[in-house]
Amino acid sequence: MEKVESVPIKVQFTVNSPFKVAALIIQFLVIILIIISS
């Protein structure tokens, strides 16, 4: 799970479907939770 913060950036460049948008939001929320819990 290293490079977690780089995953949403790659997704942002290819957002062309609701699924990818949802995945971006989920990944963003996961990163926030990791930051808060650390």
Give domain limits for the chain: 12-37
- How far from the centroid of its chain's Cα atoms is residue 22's Cα? 9
pLDDT score of 2 more than 90 = no
What pLDDT shows up at residue 12?
Answer: 56
Q: Are 30 and 10 in contact (CB under 8 A)?
A: no
What pLDDT shows up at residue 18?
Answer: 76
pLDDT digits (tens, 9 = 90+) for 3-32: 556 556 565 555 567 777 788 899 999 999
3-state secondary structure (DSSP) of residue 38: coil
Separation between Cα atoms, residue 25 and residue 30, nearest integer Å: 9
